[in-house]
Structure 1
C-alpha cells in the first residue's frame, strides 16, 4: 500500500471520528486558541471535562470535510487559522460558558462561531450564549419563581387564619 493511501486512510479515520461526535452533539463552538500556555490549556480542558464538553483541536481541512452536509456546515466559513472545537452532547450553552470564563482568565483566545441546535451564531452571538445560565441553574430559578407565589399565598392564608383566631378569642 502506498504512503499516500495510508495517509488518506488515516485522515478518513479522523473524519469519521469527527462525524460520529457531531452526530451526537447538540452544540459546537469554534475558538481561536492561540496564545495560551500548556498549563492554561490543561486547566481549561479540565473545566471543560467537568462540564461534559468534548474539546479537541482538529485540522481545519479535516473538519471542513467532516461537517459537509451536516447542521454544522456553516462553521466552515470560520475555519481559518488555529481552531479548536468544543462539543456538547447535553447542555447546549456549556461550551460557550466555560470557554468564556477561560477567555476572561487568559485574555488571549477568542470565539469564532458556534452552531447550537442547528442555529448558527457569530462571535458576538456566542458571547451572548455564554451569558445564559446552565440547565441546572435555570431549573433552580424556575422552581424558585414557582415557589415564591405559593409561599406568599400560604403565608397570607396563615395570617388570615391567625387573625380570625385572634378575633374569636
Structure 2
C-alpha cells in the first residue's frame, strides 16, 4: 500500500505531488502510524464482542456525526450486515440501541460521560474490555476526522 492509499490521505484527497505531498512525505511515519491505528481499532485480530463490520458501522456513524460524509461512506462500505447503525439519525435497532447511544454520547459530548453510562453498557452485557475498545474506536475516528479536515484545509478544500 502506498502512503497515499491510506484511508486518511485518500479520503482527504491528498495529491501525490506538490506542496502537500512534500509535507506528507516528511511526516510519513505519522500517516503510517495512523493507518496502523486504524487497522488496530477497526480490524483487530482480537475483536472481542465487536466484529469488524460492526466496528465499521460505528466508525461510519461517528464520522457522519462529525460531518465527514466521505469518511463515513468509506467506513459504511465495510459495515455489511451492520449498515443500519452507520446512520446517526437512526437509533441502531433493538440489538444495538445501548451501544449506539453510548458511542453517540462519547463522540458528541465526551465531557458528559458518567459512571451511569458505563453501568448501562455493563447491564447490557458489554464487558469492560469491550467498553475500552469502543472508546478507542471513538477516539481514533475523532482524531482521523480532524486530520482529514486539516489536510483538506491545507489544500483549499472543505469537502
Same fold (TM over 0.5): no
Instruction: State the TM-score, normalized to the length of structure 2.
Output: 0.23
Larger radius of gyration: 1
**Structure with greater proportional helix content:** 2
**Structure with greater proportional strand content:** 1
